[in-house]
Each structure stands twice: as structure tokens, then as C-alpha cells.
Amino acid sequence: MAAAGIGSFRSGTHTNTRASLNTSKLDKPLSLNSNSKLSLKSKPLTSSGVRKSAPASLGPSKDHAAVPGRVRVAVRLRPRNVEEMLADADFGDCVELQPELKRLKLRKNNWDSDTFEFDEVLTEFASQKRVYEVVAKPVVESVLDGYNGTVMAYGQTGTGKTYTLGRLGEEDTAARGIMVRAMEDILANVSPETDSILVSYLQLYMETIQDLLDPSNDNITIVEDPKNGDVSLPGVRLVEIRDQQSFIELLRLGEVHRVAANTKLNTESSRSHAILMVHVKRSVKGRDSVLSSENGNDSRLVKALKPTLVRKGKLVVVDLAGSERIDKSGSEGHTLEEAKSINLSLSALGKCINALAENSPHIPVRDSKLTRLLRDSFGGTARTSLVITIGPSPRHRGETASTIMFGQRAMKVENMLKLKEEFDYKSLSRKLDTQLDKVTAEHERQQKAFEDEIERITIEAQARISESERNYTDLLENERLKYEKNFIESIRKLEEKWAMSLPTHISNGDMVRFQNDASEGPRVAAGQEVAEMKKLLEKETLLRKAAEEEVDNLNSKLAQSKRLEESSNSELVRLHKMLEDEALQKLKLEEQIAMLESQLLQLSFEADETRRKLDRVEPEQVPGGQDSTIHQVGNSQLNHSGNGEKASIAKLFEQVGLQKILSLLEAEDPDVRVHAVKVVANLAAEETNQGKIVKAGGLKSLLMLLRSSGNESIQRVAAGAIANLAMNETNQELIMAQGGIQLLSMTASNAEDPQTLRMVAGAIANLCGNDKLQMKLREEGGIKALLGMVRSGHQDVLAQVARGIANFAKCESKSSTQGAKSGKSLLIEDGVLPWIVERANSEVSSISRHIELALCHLAQHEVNAKDLVNGGALRELVRIARDCSRDDIRALAHRILTASPTFQTELRRLHVDY
């Protein structure tokens, strides 16, 4: 048999008191059952949503082999653990497995037994892979085909339910549970581009649904659709999964927040039902249809895209809390209340399954939130596989028989499988929008090209006009010069002809006069023609100047446009450079923030894990006096976590620095603030860090969180950090000066969570230990805040309240002895005495010890004696003097009774001999 029992495994690791389920008696390699040859592929489902009649993948029993939609049940046997091997060494197992016949025999005695048949019988040597393939794989394939599916584990505490379903297998991949293997198959069969996977992780604790991925969301309501009865959980956190590693991180985060406790049957027993929901959305490509349309005499084919077909499946993996008997588990106190709630919900589930198996007209699904959440898994539309886990010990034969009968009744439940598919009109709309954007962009591109072509033609036309104007001006000048030359040549020829035609006998004087008279007429005509030519020339000159001015104007405008274009280009280059620099800076900041968040998350997880372990320490082991409970938790955490966590904190200081960590307390993301305040609280647990935190403004930031944050998780951890800082007398005065007691009182009045009240009460208790702050603490409501937190009734809260009252009474007694104070005790004036008397004889030592000290400090001064007698405290003082377990307190009470005249008089009147 295995070396240890199988219990609830957390985050892929196990404690030293447990051993792997795969450990054999002789340390031999494990092998699969050779006779169990089962098909790993589920049969196809019809379009109507009902599976065709075919043998089930789990190998159903003969009576139900052809029943579609029936709940399939497998039984898994856990090997003996160390305790059972020692205690039951002389006794045989109470069960005998016949895996080849799918049968199980439950022994009544040495000669008689009952035989039961299941869809699959898995021995203690069955591997995790074998369990997944016969139990969960057919359900996962149905979910990928568009059906709902459920895989659930049921059994006694410590029989291996959480190991079967939730083992992470990070050290040994062969030990991976159903959750991890199911997600591997889903990721391998979906397309990241068109499909989606959304995951939520919940727990049902004390009939309250809580989000394991968002602890602040701790009271989720169930909403039922009145039309089809579907159950939904509005407000639950849904996380999209893209790879296997992110899913494992999500499971680890959920397991950190899941409630667990130590019982006699299991060192880490699950105290809640864990429910993992995986929503798978897959797209199935539709065929294209061809439509014909006519426009006049022209006909053409229009191809219309058919909407994508979407199939939606939901996989629900349920890790039920183990059923247990109180006398065997040893549950008491709060653990007893948890066990009662677990058994009630499992009983309600059993009643529903009985009613479904007997075809009862009424199914009591509303008796429990668990049955409401699983209404689709039993008698609904989901394909359901149930694995029941049992142990071999004859001491637990009754619980084993009850588990077997639960599985037998569940095999009679039939579900009506229903395919969930619909057309993805949203996807089609997005495709059409994309096509429209492409057409619009193409149109804009063509419009831009058309405008560019028009501009090019315009520029070319302007160039041709300018060239024509230049050619015209040159031709005009050439013509003018030609005309002037011809005119001068004509005048010269006329003068020569005229001179040749004159008579030879004319005298020289007459000749001269005649020449003058003869040439006067032609010269007058030539002058007029020259004048007209000059006017034309001047006119042409003016036109040419105007054209040149217009050309110069156009050239200047063109040059100005080029300068503007160059300036715009340089500005665009500069802006592009700035954008690239901004993008690079943003990327660096995002990487830095991601690194900070990762480091904060790691430290937060380590702190939470250590704090959860330390919360289970017995109160008697915690020293009293002025030491803060929060400070003890912090120091113990650092001591037990070892060099690994100290190295993480040192690395955080080296790489990030305290100032950056404190700056994250003001981050917009609430998750970042939660992790940041947890790291600050963890750092504040060390005295060497307290001064640095206060100097860097950490105290002010923590008080601001108490004032402004509405997140109770942030308030709880911030109060714990303030409690650690309040261990230092200088810090106590700073806390009071900055209104810390008022903020703590306000947080106490609004909080409901016992852990938050414990942190606040611890902080106020530390402040009560400073005799300089007594009056101010009382005036600002510190004593009333302590009394107000009594409403919680939680032992840890009451212990901190008692410690605060004891600290206050001790400081007050010291002031009265030194003469700094006179008159009746402030505690008595504020009405604390009745509560002290009521709790003086508490069964919880951490409460009674502080109350006894407070009572003795009050009784030391005669001014309080009369009120103590009237309030019934004298009887408790006598009891303390007689029966107190601590010698110093017992001797103090005896000395007070002997020295007080008022007490002596009252004792003689009552004839009490102490």
C-alpha cells in the first residue's frame, strides 16, 4: 500500500504526511489494467442535441448500456496510508475490486459481501492518465462539440478527490489531475484566432458562493432564467485562457484562497466545494451561398457570405468537500460548523439524486445552493461523469458503503443532452465592417490619386502657358526689329532714286532747295509711321512687363509653397520621432510595472501561505504582554519561510526600492494595491524596516488606505501593517497625531470579516500599551471601538480586545501608582467592567489570561473596589486567587484581596474563605 493517505493537494505540492497516489507497495512501476480496453473517443452527437444510442465510453453496466445521456459513474480506490497500515495491519481491506468485470465487493464479514457494478472500477494502481481518459475525456470531447459537461468527485474526507481533480503535477507531469489534463485537450482543439476559452473558479463555503479569483467578491447570487431554467452567476470574474501556464497560475491562485483545515482524517481537509467552470466557444465555418441578381439585360452572380456557426459548451469540474463523521474527524468550534454545512449540502444533493432516480414529480433542487448550481448536471442537459473515491480501511466501512450507494443511485439518473449552437451574426457584422473599411480606404486612395493627377495636369498647363508667352515675346521683338530695318532700307532707296531723277542743269542752290522741298513730304509720312510703331512698341513692352511680373509672382508663390512643404515635412519627422520615443518609454514603464506586479504577487502569495499556516497555531503558544499578534505573525513568517523569502525581499529592495513599492499603494488597479499593501505589511513585521517605512511616508499611505479604500481586503492588510508599526513608541505617537485611532475605529465599525477586526483590534491593543496616550486614545473612541468589535464573537478578535484592555489597565494602574492619575478607572467609566466579568472565566486561555490581568490591575487601587464589588468582579478575583493556572497572576490576586479593606469587609459579610 502507499506510504500515506491521499488528501486534498494544494498547488501541485503535498505535505510530508502524505504520499503520492501512484506509490505502490513494493515501489514497482505502475501499469494500467490490461483488461480495460476502452474507446477514448466519444460517439458523435446528433444535431437535435441527443446522443445516439451507443455503448458509453466509461463501460456502462449491462442494464444501462444503451441508455443515452445517463450519468456515468467510476469508483477509485485509495491505497492505505501510514496510519491505516499500522492500525489495521491485522485486518483485510473492506472492499475487493474486480476491474475486469467492472465490479466491486463490499465485505460484510469474512464470509459474506455485497456486489456492485459500476461503469468503471479503478484500483489503487490506476494512473492519473487512466482516470482522466475513462472519466473525463469523453465529457471534454462533448464540450468541444457544443454540449455542456460535468465531472464531479464525491467521497469521504481524505480519499483523494482533490488529488484526482486538482493536482497540478508541476514536479511530476504524470500526477496531473483532471482539471489540468482537460485544459490541455481543450487548448489543443481550439483556434486562438476564432475561438475563446473563459474560466471562472468558485467555492461554496457555508452556503455562500465566493470567487476564488477575486476574494473581495464573497457573496455571489444565483440567477435563474425563468424561460429555460439556466443558472448564471452575475459578477463572477471570468479570465480568458490562452496557454496552459496561465491556467495553472489561475488554479494556484484559486487554491490559495480556498478554505482548508486540519482534521483527524486529513491534515489539509477542504472545507468548501470547489467549482471550476470552463466556457468554450468554437466557430464552425459555414458554406457560401450564391445568389443571382439581374439589372436590365445584364445578369451577374453575387456571392453572399453565410454567418459563422458558433458552438458553445460549458465544462463544470466539481471538487466536493468530503463527507465526514464528527466523532471521527474530531471537528470542533468553527470547524464543526463547517462540517455541518458540508454534510447538509451533500445530503440535499443526495435527496435530489434519489428523486431523479425514482422519477419523482418533485425534485428538491432549491434546498441548497449546491443543488441549484448542479441542476444542469443531474436531470438537465449536460453529459455528466461522477468519480466516487473510497478508502480500504475497515474502520470506515460505513462511510465507504454510503459512498457506494450514492454512486449506485447516481447511475440511474438520465440527462437529455442538448447541442448549443447559433449563428455568429456579430462576427459577420465585424467582417462586413472590415470589408466596408477596405472599400472606403480604396475609394479614398483613388480619390487622392485623381486629385494628384488634376494637380499634375494643372502644373503642366501652366508651364506650357509660360513657354508660349516667352515664345510670343521673342517673336514680337524679332518682328519689330525686322520692320525697323526694312523701313530704314526703304528710305535709303527712295533717296537714291530721287537723287538720280533730278535735272542736271539745276544749280546747286536750287538743288538744295528742291531737295529740301522734295524730301519734306516723305519725311513727314515716315515720321508718322515711326510714331505709330513706337506706340505699338511701348504697348507691347507694357504687356511684356505685366507678364513678367505675373511670372515672378507665381514663382514666389511656388517657392513659398516649397518652403512650407519642407517645414511641414520636418515637423512631421519630429512628431514621428517624439511618438516613437513616447511609445518606447511607455513600453519600458509597462515592463517595469509588470515586473513590480509579478514580484508583489509572489511575495503576497508567500506571505498569505505563511500567514494561513500560522493562523492554525494554538493561542497558548503565542506570548502575551505588550507584543503585537501581528508582529508575531510577521516574525514567524520570516523565520519559517527561510532564506528564500528573505532573499526575495532583499531582491525587491535592490531592484525596486521601498519608495516605488509605496507608490503602488496609490495604483488604480485594486489587485496591484492589494499585493502592494501585503508586501508593505510583510516588511513592517521586521523592526529594521519599520523606521524606513515611516520615513518614506508609508504610515501616511496606510492611513490614507483606511480612509479612502472600500476594499475590505486592503483595509485588513493595511490595519495589520499599522499594528506592526504600532510596536514602536515613536510610531504610536505618530499614529495618534495623524488621526489613526479614529480611522481604526471607523474601519472596525464598518468591517464584518473577523480577520479584519482582528487586525484592527491588534493595532488598537498596541496603542493601549502607551501610558502617554491614555486620555487621547479614550477621547477619540479607542475603548469604545474595542468594545464594539466584541460583536464578532470570533475568538481571535476577542483575544485582541482582551489584550488591549489588559494593556490599558496596566498603564492606568502604573499612572495611578506614580500619582499621575487619580479617580476611578476610565475603563469602568466606559462600561468595560461587565464584559471583563463575563469573560474572566473564558475557556480560551488567550482571552482569560488577559482578562485576569486586567481585573487584577483594576483591583489594585481602592478607588475601584466598590465598583468591582457591585459588578460581581469579587467572585472572579477569589476564583483567580484559588484556581488560576499562572502562579504570578494567582499570587497577585491573593495579595490584592488581602490588602483591600473593601474586599475584606465584603468577604467577611459573605463568609467566603479564599
Three-class HEC string of 219-288: CECCEECCCCCCEECCCCCCEECCCHHHHHHHHHHHHHHCCEECCCCCCCEECCEEEEEEEEEEEECCCC
3-state secondary structure of 752: coil
Cell of 482: 525686322
The C-alpha atoms of residue 414 and residue 593 are separated, in whole angstroms, by: 52
Q: Is 157 among the annotated ligand-binding positions?
A: yes
The C-alpha atoms of residue 728 and residue 393 are separated, in whole angstroms, by: 55
Cell of 235: 459578477
Cell of 339: 462540517
DSSP annotation of 135 reads I
Helices and strands in the chain: count of H runs, count of E runs? 31, 19
Cell of 325: 463523521
3-state secondary structure of 839: helix
Q: Is 458 among the annotated ligand-binding positions?
A: no
Q: Is 17 among the annotated ligand-binding positions?
A: no
Cell of 892: 497577585
- How, if at all, do strands 72-77 and 383-390 pair? parallel
CA of 891: how far to CAs of 354, 864, 899, in Å? Answer: 64, 20, 12
CA of 387: how far to CAs of 147, 152, 180, 345, in Å? Answer: 20, 6, 17, 18
Cell of 571: 515637423
Burial class of residue 4 (count of CB atoms within 10 Å of its CB; 0-12, 13-18, 19+): buried
Cell of 564: 512650407
CA of 671: how far to CAs of 235, 667, 678, in Å? Answer: 16, 9, 11
Grid cell 458540508 in the structure block, residue = 342
Q: Which of 730, 697, 703, 732 is nearest to 719 (CA)?
A: 703
Q: Is 221 among the annotated ligand-binding positions?
A: no
193 phi and psi angles, rounded to 5 deg:
-80, -40
784 and 835 Cβ atoms separated by less than 8 Å: no
DSSP annotation of 661 reads H
254 and 200 Cβ atoms separated by less than 8 Å: no
The C-alpha atoms of residue 652 and residue 767 are separated, in whole angstroms, by: 30
CA of 540: how far to CAs of 462, 469, 535, 536, 852, in Å? Answer: 22, 12, 9, 6, 125
The C-alpha atoms of residue 339 and residue 332 are separated, in whole angstroms, by: 9
Q: Is 740 among the annotated ligand-binding positions?
A: no
Which run of H or E residues covers position 479?
helix 425-501
Q: Is 161 among the annotated ligand-binding positions?
A: yes
Q: Which of 118, 90, 96, 123 is nearest to 108 (CA)?
A: 96
Q: Is 730 among the annotated ligand-binding positions?
A: no
755 and 611 Cβ atoms separated by less than 8 Å: no
Cell of 368: 441548497
Q: Is 23 among the annotated ligand-binding positions?
A: no
Q: Which of 193, 147, 177, 411 is nearest to 276 (CA)?
A: 177
Q: H helices of 60-160, where?
A: 82-87, 128-131, 137-144
Beta strands in 500-600 (DSSP E): none
CA of 547: how far to CAs of 74, 479, 501, 556, 560, in Å? Answer: 103, 19, 50, 14, 20
Beta strands in 391-463 (DSSP E): 421-424
The C-alpha atoms of residue 310 and residue 450 are separated, in whole angstroms, by: 44
Contact partners, residue 531, CB within 8 Å, separation at least 6: none
3-state secondary structure of 721: helix
Numbered residues of the known binding site for ATP: 155-162
Numbered residues of the known binding site: 155-162
